[in-house]
Amino acid sequence: MKQTQLAWVIEQPGTKSQNESSLYNENGLRSRRFHHKSRKGCKGCKQRRVKVEPRRTDENDNGGITWDPIITARIMEVLIESNAPCTELEKTAVYKRNHAFDVIDHFAACQDSWLGSPTCQRIFQEHGVRLALNAGHLVHAIIAISAAHLAERQTSPKERKKFWIASTLHYHHSLSMYSSAIVHDLQEQDADAIFACGLLHAMLAFIKTPKASEHVALEDDNGPTWIMSMRGIRTLLDTAGLRQRLENGIWLPLIQEFDQWRNTGVDDLSHSGSQQGSCTINSFGDLCDPEPTSPYIAETDMQLAMLDKLFHPNATYHNITGFLAFIADATPQFINRLRADEEEALLVLAHWCALFSRFDQWWISESATIECTRICAHLDKSNNSRIRALLSFPAKACGYELETMALDL
């Protein structure tokens, strides 16, 4: 053992070891080291003499998180620059600026399965706040999604209102800043933060848009706008320069999940539920089979092949990525057909919603059920008996009572 490792043993009063100053003064008396009062850690940690890391520490015994002052200062700077919430109204507002830090704590510490696939949630909770330090749009998106989740968990109407206001406020700020970053100042070095924000926007749009349109007839709106947010994921992955940057960064495992789903054939999947799927897809094929010269033939085959895969896996959180990939990979032609309320395209989306609603994750089930119900109500008026026959599965999934008798497939 080297001598320096035993310095604390062999040290003599009034002498200094090779690497550190002596604990004793010239008179042989042990001197006290000067110590600054620690600003890190909550009261519980200090009482238990728990060392707190400079970035953050999950404190399982008393539930708190301690962030590096640099992080909290930067987050506060973003909130002040955005004037969120409005300074003039903060004294009387239900949601106040300091509440944002409790919301961010929830984002980083919540152990429920609440943020997509396990891979997606792990990356967000490990890296999300750090990424947001140089991306104001991501700060607002993190607060928006976390506040929405907190709102769903509240039993008090006042608390639920507070967090829902926070979610809506920060979502609007995030959308504005994100649009500016995408259009005017897109930098490859910001790829990780841009992709993170795009994912959160896809979830937020799916939470908010169906609920806002729940009592609006399908023919009275301009199509499911949340689809464009989900398709934004694929747009980012297909953008020159960003894909390579993302593959060399923290999002590689999630990108691999997307690609694995796209490259997996139906025969490679579990066969649970495949009888219902095969029967439905065969009926779809008869209904949607376009003319050989139709421009929709390749698109129709691709959408049905992708839908067929969704019938196979069980509703485990690992499969959420596959459902997002279905929408992200939808062709512009298919999206245009949805906007035009074309019945065959809406029927495909109704089955996607019915299957997606099986996931009990907070941002999925209710919204998927709402969209499925709206589509069923619209298609139930169809003059095409084969369309109505194929409504049986989605109508049963969302609890919609068909006015016309659906034929068993």
Mean pLDDT over the full length of the chain:
80
Q: Which residue has the higher pLDDT, 281 or 76?
A: 76
Domain boundaries along the sequence of the chain: 68-245, 270-312+331-398
Alpha-carbon distance values, 20 to 23, 43, 108 (Å): 9, 31, 39
Query: CB within 8 A of 347, min separation 6: which ones?
Result: 284, 287, 375, 379, 387, 390, 391
Residue 9: the pLDDT is: 41
The tens digit of pLDDT for each residue in 275-320 reads 555 566 666 666 665 555 455 555 666 777 788 888 876 778 889 9
Residue 123 scores a pLDDT above 70: yes
Query: CB within 8 A of 188, min separation 6: which ones?
Result: 241, 242, 245
The tens digit of pLDDT for each residue in 361-408 reads 999 999 999 999 999 999 999 998 889 989 999 999 999 999 865 544
**Which strand (E) or helix (H) includes residue 65?**
strand 65-67
Distance CA 253, CA 258 (A): 9
How many other C-beta atoms can be found within 10 angstroms of the C-beta atom of residue 99?
18
Query: CB within 8 A of 330, min separation 6: which ones?
Result: 227, 231, 303
Residue 304: the pLDDT is: 78
Binning pLDDT at 50, 70 and 90, where does residue 26 land? Answer: low
